[in-house]
Amino acid sequence: MEYKIGPTWHKVDHLLFSSLEENKLTEVTVSIKRIGLLKRSGKLYAFSALCPHAGAPLCAGWIDGLGRIVCPDHKYRFDPVNGRNTTGEEYKLFTYPVEVRDDEIFVGILDQTNL
Ligand code: FES
């Protein structure tokens, strides 16, 4: 049996890095997962599009002045770099590895076949 270590990279269809606006949250579906994307200071971050508190759609929220994702429902805030809940409620936002290759966006997902 062959084991694979690390995520499988999935291309985000119909979206280029250069078309993303800075500090705007964008939801995409990748390998049936709802994933949020954020371009900030030229870097790209990927995270679960559903809030870990009660499942609100995070891309309906906004980015505060410190670059944190603000949930639209209860206003908990999350660091897009590591998913840390910066308002102290001890929920962690799941983050994904993400890469830009020739302007195309790839999100790394650990599939069951990776186990
Ligand atoms: S659902 Fe996001 S903070 Fe409650």
Indicate whether 1 belongs to any domain. no
The share of the chain scoring above pLDDT 70, in percent, equals 93
Of 37, 57, 41, nearest in space to 99 by CA = 37
CB 87 within 8 A of CB 78: no
Indicate whether 113 belongs to any domain. no
* pLDDT at res. 81: 97
Establish whether residue 53 lines the binding site of ligand 1, counting it when its CB lies within 6 angstroms of any ligand atom. yes
| DSSP one-letter string for 22-53 | BT-EEEEEETTEEEEEEEETTEEEEEESB-TT
Give 54 Cα–ligand 1 centroid separation in angstroms: 5
Ligand 1 atom at minimum distance from 56 CA: 1
Indicate whether 111 belongs to any domain. no
Indicate whether 98 belongs to any domain. yes
Indicate whether 2 belongs to any domain. no
Establish whether residue 76 lines the binding site of ligand 1, counting it when its CB lies within 6 angstroms of any ligand atom. yes
* pLDDT at res. 5: 79
* pLDDT, the chain, mean: 94
pLDDT class of 6 with cuts at 50, 70, 90: confident
Indicate whether 3 belongs to any domain. no
For residue 57, the 8-state DSSP code is B
What is the spatial order of strands in the sheet that 104-109 belongs to?
8-16, 104-109, 98-101
Q: What is the CATH number of the domain that holds 95?
A: 2.102.10.10
Establish whether residue 56 lines the binding site of ligand 1, counting it when its CB lies within 6 angstroms of any ligand atom. yes
Containing structural domain, residue 86:
8-106
Number of domains in the chain: 1
